[in-house]
Structure 1
Amino acid sequence: MSLEFSSSDDAPAREHVIGVLTDDACREIIAVLEEPLTVPAIADEIERPLSTTYRKLDRLTESGLVRETVGARPGREQKSRYVTDFDRIAIALDDDRDVRVDVERSNDHSIALWKGNI
């Protein structure tokens, strides 16, 4: 399913998505999210402070490119993990020469994906 980011209330503005993609730390986070990770694990992977990692994850979550999931195993506390929420992003000009941002999302991202990794 492809989404055109325009004036839809539930879709982030294309400028927000493009802005996130121009941020080095945000791209680093996307690159390490091959599997759901906690914030400390992400910060370790990208070698950035926790405060920066939290800020960048907020931006990525607001843009709709990353989402937070929460899961727990019996006898353990809940832990938030972050996972990418897209398979492909395309930026192109439409017939009217307006910038169009399409994000393809997959239904493959579910809590079952990482139940065994908690």
Structure 2
Amino acid sequence: MRHDSAPSEDSPSLQAILVALDDADCRAILRKTAEPMTATELIDACDIPQSTLYRKLELLSQASLVREQDTINPGGGRTTQYERDFDDVTISMDEEDNLSVTVERPPRNADERLADIWSKMGDEL
């Protein structure tokens, strides 16, 4: 069970979130992505090999804890930046001993939602 303060199509499982948060490299990436960063910047900032970084970003993406933002460069091509996509993650247990996770996300303005749509369209091309 997951609740968002901002609607999202993604519904990560409790397991996906726990796996990502249990990983030291993933936690390092989350600490550095309060502001958008490119993969190259993250490699340097987190001292993680490139192949490892992309595996960790995939874990964080599957858990919907990091979001990708693509920008089109004026000279052609695009740049992908990664940014932490939550304000708070709460794991709780109910009266029936069932675990649940609540992910609170920052509200998105219209420009950010449009950028997300364009980014997803670029992935499909």
TM-score band, normalised by the shorter chain?
0.7 to 0.9
Q: State whether structure 2 residue 51 is matched by structure 1 residue 48.
A: no
User: For the Cα contact (< 8 Å) 2:73–2:79, is it kept in 1?
Assistant: no
Shift, 1:15, TM fit = 0.8
User: For the Cα contact (< 8 Å) 2:12–2:62, is it kept in 1?
Assistant: yes
- Secondary structure of the 1:97 match is coil
Within-5 A mapping of 1:1-118? 3=3, 10-108=10-108, 110=112
Structure 1 vs Structure 2 CA RMSD: 2.0
AA at the equivalent of 1:23 = D
What is the distance in 2 between the residues matched to 1:28 and 1:108? 24
What is the distance in 1 between the residues matched to 2:47 and 2:28? 10
Report the structure, 1 or 2, having the larger helix content.
Answer: 2
Q: TM-score, normalised to structure 2's length?
A: 0.77
CA deviations over 1:77-114 (Å, ceiling 9, x no partner)? 31011111111000111222211111001124835xxx
Q: TM-score, normalised to structure 1's length?
A: 0.81
- Secondary structure of the 2:44 match is helix
Identity %: 33
Question: For structure 2, which runs of at least 5 residues remain unmatched after alignment?
Answer: 116-125
User: For the Cα contact (< 8 Å) 2:38–2:79, is it kept in 1?
Assistant: yes
What does residue 115 of structure 1 align with? none
